[in-house]
Chains A and B, each alone.
Chain A
Amino acid sequence: MLKATALSARFTLALLMAVLVSAPACAESGGEAAVKTAFLFNFFKFIEWPETTSLRTFNLCTTENDHLGDSLVVLDNKTLFNKPMVVRRGVVGEELKKCHMVFISTSDHTGYFEEIINKLKGFPIVTVSDQPGFINHGGMIGFVQDDNRLSFEINLDTAKANAVHISAKLLKLAKNVNLAK
Chain B
Amino acid sequence: MPLSKAACLFKLCLTLTVISLTHLSLAANQEPEPAKLPDLTDLSVEALLELDVTSVTKTPTGLKDVPAAIYVLTSDDIHRSGATTIPEALRVVPGMHVARIDGNKWAVSTRGFNSQYANKLLVLMDGRILYTPMFSGVWWDQEDVMMEDIERIEVIRGPGASLWGANAVNGVINIITKKVKNTQGALISGAGGSMRKSGGLRYGVGLGNQAYLKVYGRHSEYDQTHLPGTDTQAGDDSRLSKIGFRVDKDFSGTDKLTLQGDAFSGSSGGAGQQFPTVSAKLAPVLSPPYSRWLPTDSEPSGHYLMGRWEHGYSNDSSTVLRMYWNRNERKFTAIDSSYQIDTLDFDFQHNVHLDEEHNLVWGAGARLNYNDTQNSLDLSWLPNQRQDQIYSLFAQDEITLVPARWKLTLGSKFEHNPVTQFEWQPTARLSWTPVKQHAFWASVSRSVRTPNWAEQDLNYNKQVIPPAGGGVAGPANPVTLISFVGNKAMQSEKMLAYDWGWRAQLGPRLSADVALYYYDYHNILSGTPSALDASRIVSGYLLQTYAFTNYGSADVYGGEASVDWRVTDTWKLRATYSQTEQRFRLSKLAPAGTGKLFDGGFPAHQAMLWSMHQLTPQINVDLWWRYVDGFKENPPVQAFHELDARLARRFRHGLELALVGRNLLETQHVEFGSYLFSIPTAAQREVYATLSWNF
Residue positions of A touching B, CB distance < 8 A? 1, 3-4, 7-8, 11-12, 14-15, 18-19, 21-32, 34-35, 37-39, 41-42, 45-46, 69-71, 73-75, 77-81, 145, 147-151, 170, 173
Which chain B residues numbered 500 to 516 have a C-beta less than 8 Å away from chain A? 500, 502, 504, 506-510, 512, 514, 516
Asked if residues A34 and B40 are in contact (CB atoms below 8 Å), the reply is yes
Asked if residues B24 and A74 are in contact (CB atoms below 8 Å), the reply is no
Q: How far is the CB of A87 from chain B (nearest CB, A)?
A: 12
Asked if residues B37 and A18 are in contact (CB atoms below 8 Å), the reply is no
Q: How far is the CA of A37 from the CA of B36 in the complex (A)?
A: 15
Q: Indicate if B57 sits at the interface (CB-CB under 8 A).
A: yes
Query: Which 5 residue pairs of A and B lie closest in terms of their CB atoms, listed nearest first?
Result: A31-B56, A26-B35, A38-B40, A74-B39, A23-B509
Q: Indicate if B269 sits at the interface (CB-CB under 8 A).
A: no
Q: Indicate if B645 sits at the interface (CB-CB under 8 A).
A: no
Contacts of B48 in A (CB 8 A): 35, 38-39, 42, 150
Contacts of B548 in A (CB 8 A): none
Provide the main secondary structure of the chain A interface.
helix
Which chain B residues numbered 390 to 408 have a C-beta less than 8 Å away from chain A? none
Provide the main secondary structure of the chain B interface.
mixed
Asked if residues A71 and B518 are in contact (CB atoms below 8 Å), the reply is no
A sample of 24 inter-chain contacts (CB < 8 A) reads: A7-B516, A8-B500, A8-B559, A15-B504, A15-B514, A19-B510, A22-B506, A22-B510, A24-B507, A26-B508, A32-B57, A34-B37, A35-B53, A38-B43, A39-B48, A45-B24, A46-B45, A73-B36, A74-B38, A75-B41, A149-B50, A149-B52, A150-B48, A173-B49
Within 8 Å by CB of B559, from A7, A39, A170, lies A7
Contacts of A71 in B (CB 8 A): 37
Asked if residues A11 and B60 are in contact (CB atoms below 8 Å), the reply is no
Contacts of A78 in B (CB 8 A): 26, 29, 41
Contacts of A173 in B (CB 8 A): 45-46, 49
Residue of B with least CB distance to A45 = B24
Q: How far is the CB of B483 from chain A (nearest CB, A)?
A: 39
Residue of A with least CB distance to B40 = A38
Asked if residues B514 and A149 are in contact (CB atoms below 8 Å), the reply is no
Contacts of B36 in A (CB 8 A): 26-27, 70, 73
Asked if residues A14 and B41 are in contact (CB atoms below 8 Å), the reply is no
Q: Select the stretch in B138-146, B325-333, B467-475, B561-569 that faces chain A.
A: B561-569
Q: How far is the CA of A26 from the CA of B59 in the complex (A)?
A: 12
Contacts of B577 in A (CB 8 A): 14
Contact with A along B18-30 (1 / 0, CB 8 A): 0000101010010
Contacts of B7 in A (CB 8 A): 28, 30-31
Q: How far is the CA of A12 from the CA of B577 in the complex (A)?
A: 12
Band of interface residues on B: 35 or more
Which chain B residues numbered 450 to 506 have a C-beta less than 8 Å away from chain A? 500, 502, 504, 506
- Given A35-B56, A148-B54: A29 and B37 interface contact (C-beta under 8 Å): yes
- Given A15-B512, A38-B41: A145 and B565 interface contact (C-beta under 8 Å): no
Q: How far is the CB of B641 from chain A (nearest CB, A)?
A: 19
Q: How far is the CA of A69 from the CA of B37 in the complex (A)?
A: 10
Q: How far is the CB of A15 from chain B (nearest CB, A)?
A: 5
Contacts of A147 in B (CB 8 A): 179
Q: Indicate if B309 sits at the interface (CB-CB under 8 A).
A: no
Residue of A with least CB distance to B514 = A11
Q: Indicate if B51 sits at the interface (CB-CB under 8 A).
A: yes
Contacts of B506 in A (CB 8 A): 18-19, 22
Q: How far is the CB of B638 from chain A (nearest CB, A)?
A: 24
Asked if residues B41 and A37 are in contact (CB atoms below 8 Å), the reply is yes
Q: How far is the CA of A32 from the CA of B37 in the complex (A)?
A: 11
Asked if residues B59 and A28 are in contact (CB atoms below 8 Å), the reply is yes
Asked if residues B41 and A3 are in contact (CB atoms below 8 Å), the reply is no
Q: How far is the CA of A15 from the CA of B49 in the complex (A)?
A: 37
Q: How far is the CB of B415 from chain A (nearest CB, A)?
A: 29
Contacts of A29 in B (CB 8 A): 37, 59
Q: How far is the CB of A28 from chain B (nearest CB, A)?
A: 5
Q: Indicate if B584 sits at the interface (CB-CB under 8 A).
A: no
Contacts of A79 in B (CB 8 A): 26
Q: How far is the CA of A31 from the CA of B11 in the complex (A)?
A: 9
Q: How far is the CA of A34 from the CA of B41 in the complex (A)?
A: 8
- Given A4-B516, A22-B506, A149-B50: A31 and B10 interface contact (C-beta under 8 Å): yes
Contacts of B38 in A (CB 8 A): 31, 34, 74
Contacts of B563 in A (CB 8 A): 15, 18
Q: Indicate if B581 sits at the interface (CB-CB under 8 A).
A: yes
Q: How far is the CA of A114 from the CA of B24 in the complex (A)?
A: 33
Asked if residues B35 and A27 are in contact (CB atoms below 8 Å), the reply is yes
Contacts of A31 in B (CB 8 A): 7, 10, 14, 38, 53, 55-57
Residue of B with least CB distance to A79 = B26
Contacts of B8 in A (CB 8 A): 26, 28
Asked if residues B565 and A23 are in contact (CB atoms below 8 Å), the reply is yes
- Given A19-B506, A32-B53, A45-B22: A149 and B557 interface contact (C-beta under 8 Å): no
